[in-house]
Structure 1
Amino acid sequence: MKFDLKGRKAIVTGSTLGIGLATAKGLAAAGADVVVNGRKQEACEKAVAAIQKDVPDARVTACVADLGTAEGCDSLVSAHPVCDILVNNVGIFSPKDFFETSDETWTQFFDVNVMSGVRLSRAYLPAMEKKGWGRVIFISSESAQNIPVDMIHYGFSKTAQLAVSRGLAKRMAGTGVTVNAVLPGPTLSEGVQAMFKEKMQETGKSLEEISEEFVRTQRPSSLIRRPASVEEVANMILYVASQEASATTGAALRVEGGILETIF
């Protein structure tokens, strides 16, 4: 299926690497005007160059802003006041035992993973409603339903995203604006690859071997028995952003390889 997003403006937060960058590329290839976002100018410039290399006719710009703060969100909205497709992708993760997780860490995860999407959705949804068309997509995680014991603070933030996305979908009922969440599982983003680097050096095993071993031991219910690629996750996001997904809203769409043991 080929999607046509010409004339639509898309903002993908946290899009200098990983799922965010793959999503930005997919949206650009579909004809959207794309804004990539990161906290560092150099990273943003590299992301723009990477997209233009793969999509020569891409219309893509960068916005440097730390979306873990209200000021950073205001900066993005000020620079780009119009948005048709908002992909709330920016997020952080790190394993840490519950009893060693400080108040500051809980607050940081809430601000970055949850409040960034809350603030930007609040800014952009009214104009989408007035226009009668819009897409807001929260990049949650299978950890929202399958809380990892070593990252309870992360799972909490991802569950919160599901609550916000479902509530906003109900709030925007009948307006032509859809709000959905996408739930990836283990995905071979740069962050995950960095997490495996030390073990690769210790064992001499390849990234593919280490990542598949991780899925077998840490996510044994996986049906694909491997991590997803960032492109596989981006494909789901691209569909949800499209006109073809106009009857899909209020959903938690799984692209986690069948890890979750529930049918619904």
Structure 2
Amino acid sequence: MKIFRHLFRFYINSSVHVGLSCLALFCSTQQQLFFSSPFSLSLFVFFGTIFAYNFIKYESLIRRRKNGIRKELKVIGWFSAVVFLGLLYYYFQLRFQTQLGGFFIVALTLLYALPFFPNRSNARNWKGIKIYIVSLCWTLATVFLPALEADFSLDVMLFVYGLQRFLLVFVLILIFEIVDLKNDDPLLQTVPQQIGVDRTKILGFGLLVLFLVLDFWNGNFSLLSLSFILVTALFLAFANEYRFKYYTLFWVEAIPVFWWLALRLLL
């Protein structure tokens, strides 16, 4: 059992789970909008998510503690290096316009993780901006990159779908921010820190309702999408700062995976 615990911990801490979550949203886009992208783009999104999250979480730790890095962090570091090589390989398999889109996402990620301006922290620590940058990056990677690679028309329907994806990821991050409320630096000014947990939940429920309204407008509404939103709403309703960390790190991150599997099986 100990080996399974170690493997599960590595699976979560090395961001493989969040990579699968992003990949699931990417595949859901193709499933719902009826177009296909090459396998190389799927792997680019998967590897890119893993590397981006590991870079954001561990870059400063590795840089500051070169001689005192624990074994697990070293393994994640080497794993991330291999993932980065895969990321580069598949990046150069993409069409030029998709490469430009991918480069823009990378620039946003670096802005989020690294301090580019003198006497300023990185964007991750700018008051209240974190949730918008992360939601935008996920939307670009899972909606607009596959559309660019498939030469899909950038019409109103696609932008409405992209807005839905932004709202969904925004609500999922709200759940994280509620659960992390006790540990987050007050200077971050996350949504729950600014308006409180109850109002954050009301905001999240309102955004989920807007998601469903846009689903009607876009012609994608189904009992399956309603079930998906209801499950997300339940996780939001039961979120609090005393939840076990895997409430978000595993279960909330798994919501897009279950959504994509349901789309594959039932549609």
Q: Please confirm whether the aligned pair reaches a TM-score higher than 0.5, indicating the same fold.
A: no
Q: Which TM-score applies when normalising by structure 2?
A: 0.35
Q: Point out which structure has higher relative CO (alpha carbons under 8 A, 6+ apart).
A: 2
More helix as a share of residues: 2
Q: Which TM-score applies when normalising by structure 1?
A: 0.35
